[in-house]
Amino acid sequence: MSKPTVSRLASTRIPTAYGDFQLCYYSNTLDNKEHLAFVMGSVSDAENVLVRIHSECFTGDVLGSRRCDCGEQLDRSLQLIASQGAGVLVYLRQEGRGIGLLQKMRAYNLQDQGYDTVDANLLLGHGADERDYSLAARILEELGVKSIRLMTNNPLKIHALESEGIRVNARFPLEATVNADNEGYLLTKVRRMDHLLKVKPAATRVSVITAHDCEPAD
């Protein structure tokens, strides 16, 4: 099976509270979604570029939902990229670990009945995590990135990118604030999805990670 390809259709300057980024819009041969890259500084032909592969989360990224840590991870990633002066945030349009917003909302209702995030997805006929990272790899290649330092708590994401030919030289943890609404969600990530998280009691904020707190990738 041939690898999917991406084409950059447009890019434009986006000024933010953390500085100026370039927003790059991609078409692709895998799906009909518009995947994006948010780029600061010079990353072409660069080694050890600070990178976040972020899957779309309308409820967390846009509405500020406390049921997950997505919005906080998005914001912190942009802060860390800005602190380094260069980096890439790839924004993949795969809501709800790939099941889409409608099914994610239905999964939320099951979670309110006592099921965890994995079992809720399974009850709806989905996998625990249906995301694909091949397009993220193609976007990084199109940008000319040579190797990366990946901001993630998910070992699967590291292995998926490496299997696509991306060199992941280090991992930055992205710990989140634990609250009563997301504590179960975060514990499920640790217990059932092998995420590298230290979940502290609800309402206890985890110390902010700096760009110097990286560890070698597995």
The per-residue pLDDT for range 146-178, each reduced to its tens digit, is 999 999 999 999 999 999 999 999 999 998 889
**Reported confidence tier of residue 208, pLDDT bands at 50, 70, 90:** very low
Q: What is the pLDDT of residue 90?
A: 98
Count other Cβ atoms within 10 Å, centred on residue 105: 13
53 touches 136 (CB < 8 A): yes
Active-site residue set:
129, 131
**Is residue 94 part of an annotated ligand binding site?**
no
Q: Quick check: 33 pLDDT over 90?
A: yes
Question: What percentage of the chain has pLDDT greater than the value 70?
Answer: 91
For 49, 120, 146, 166, the CA distances from 75, given in Å and listed in that order, are: 18, 27, 25, 24
Q: Binding site annotation covers 152?
A: yes
| Sequence ranges of the domains in the chain | 6-94+131-177
Is residue 213's pLDDT more than 60? no
- What pLDDT is stored for residue 87 in this prediction? 98
Sequence-separated (6 or more) residues with CB below 8 Å from residue 115:
123
Lowest pLDDT segment from 148-157, 178-187, 205-214: 205-214
CA 28 to chain CA centroid, Å, is 19
Over residues 46-56, the pLDDT tens digits come to 999 999 999 99
Could you tell me which CATH number the domain at 6-94+131-177 has? Answer: 3.40.50.10990
Answer yes or no: is 54 a known binding residue. Answer: yes
214 marked ligand binding residue? no
